[in-house]
Amino acid sequence: MEFHSFKTFEEMSAAAAGAIAKILRARPECILGLATGSSPVGTYDELARMHREEGLSFARCTTVNLDEYLGLPGTHPESYRFFMEKHLFSRVDIRRERTFVPDGTAADPAAECAAYDARLERLGGTDLQLLGIGPDGHIGFNEPDDVFTPQTHVVDLAPSTIEANSRFFESEADVPRKALTMGMRGILLSRRILLVASGPAKRKRIDEAFSGPVTPRLPASILQLHRDVTVLWSED
């Protein structure tokens, strides 16, 4: 694992966007695994700037997101589809039909999960997977558990995740209790993993995940098994 520490969120975000832009320039038809949450917002801002000012094009790439809240349509302001539209898709030249986010309103969520995995397999995995890390060490919405789940699946969100994500909703009661998340196989299939995180609490989780045992109780620890992981961390 390669670890890079930055003073500011802006510096970290510029480094993450630079790594993504490098792949996009070398292979315009690349497949990017994307994340939501606070951590990648600066990365998306910088990518949008590079599109605007430097002609960075997303026209030929495909994106596959990690997760979506169960029950939220893409028009809901807190859905992850909406987040991606707002922070990246509407600001660059990406083709919407090449953007994949699990459908939180699928009539049959299990079938949606299976179809999501089938697509990921067809694509051959992503070239780069952008990740954040949850306060409990989750990646995607793979919460601490007794086992690692390889497949895309419906998950009960941990109380700490519901509490952490309540900052985006009117109240904690409004946070969906379930989500669809890519499983560990989908994440590990990626050729390269780029994890972005900020602040002392996340730093502690990262240290535990990469220096302790590989355990589903700390989901990010599975990244020890991947051969190309870069962690970008900022102090603020």
Return the active site residues.
67, 136, 138, 143
Taking CB under 6 A as the rule, does residue 138 contact ligand F6R?
yes
Q: Which of 142, 162, 134, 163 is nearest to 37 (CA)?
A: 134
Minimum CB distance to ligand F6R, residue 54 (Å): 26
Q: Which letter does DSSP use for residue 29 in this model?
A: T
> Any contact of residue 68 with ligand F6R (CB under 6 A)?
no
Q: Which is nearer to ligand F6R, 55 or 200 (CB)?
A: 200
For residue 157, which phi and psi values (nearest 5 degrees)? -70, 140
Quick one: which segment of 13-21, 135-143, 170-178, 219-227 binds ligand F6R (CB under 6 A)?
135-143
Please give the DSSP secondary-structure letter assigned to residue 224.
Answer: G
Q: Decide: is 134 part of the binding site for ligand F6R (CB under 6 A).
A: yes
Least Å distance between CB 223 and ligand F6R? 12
CB of 53 to ligand F6R, least distance (A): 26
Write the DSSP assignment of 146-186 as a string of letters: SS---S-EEEEPPHHHHHHHGGGSSSGGGS-SEEEE--HHH
Using rule CB under 6 A, residue 67 touches ligand F6R: yes
Q: Which position among 31, 32, 33, 37 is part of the footprint of ligand F6R (CB under 6 A)? A: 37
CB contact at 8 A, 182 and 140: yes
Closest distance between ligand F6R and the C-beta of residue 215, in Å? 17
Q: Check binding of 13 to ligand F6R (CB under 6 A).
A: no
Using the rule CB under 6 A, which residue among 13, 15, 39, 100 binds ligand F6R?
Answer: 39
Distance in angstroms (rounded) separating the CA atoms of residues 216 and 22: 32
Q: Which of 61, 139, 193, 222 binds ligand F6R (CB under 6 A)?
A: 139
Residues facing 231 on adjacent strands: 3, 195
Tokens of 47: 């990518």
Q: If we measure between CA atoms, which residue out of 17, 21, 3, 24 comes closest to residue 133? A: 3
Q: Is 35 in the site for ligand F6R (CB under 6 A)?
A: yes
The binding track of 103-132 with respect to ligand F6R, each residue x by CB under 6 A or -, is: -----------------------------x
C-alpha closest to that of 100 among 62, 69, 130 = 62
Contact (Cβ atoms closer than 8 angstroms) between residue 187 and residue 129: yes
Binding site for ligand F6R (CB under 6 A): 35-39, 66-67, 132-134, 138-141
